[in-house]
Amino acid sequence: MGETGSIDECVAERIRLHYQRINLSQGWDRSQFYELCKLIHCTEQELAALVNMKKATLSRCLRENKFSTEASLHFALLEATFRRSTRSIIPLELLAKESTMRKPEG
């Protein structure tokens, strides 16, 4: 992959570190989930549907008190939208022009 691969790896690592700094890498817990439900005035099932989460997955996450990083990212984006937060969830500034301007292989 050469130089392009190293740019991609560097950008990906910087994005992972950004998510760690804003506590997304740990995943959301039950209390954060319920707080978001209250904020946007929806039920647990409705919020799960907004992020395309199956009912069985929702039940498991609530039982285990942990949501996946992917679901947590969606929840954080919803929360930021409803709170009109200026906190940067998606670190677009970390993307290197070289990695975003490259044509997909294949």
Average pLDDT over the chain reads 80
- Could you tell me where the DSSP H helices lie in 22-95? 30-40, 44-50, 55-64, 69-83
> How many other β-carbons are positioned within 10 Å of the β-carbon of residue 15?
15
The structure's pTM equals 0.68
pLDDT, residue 1, reads 44
Taking 70 as the threshold, does the pLDDT of residue 98 lie above it?
Answer: no
68 and 29 in contact (C-beta within 8 Å)?
A: no
Domain of 9 in residue numbering reads as 2-101
Taking 70 as the threshold, does the pLDDT of residue 90 lie above it?
Answer: no
**Per the structure, how many domains does the chain have?**
1
Q: Is residue 24 in some structural domain?
A: yes
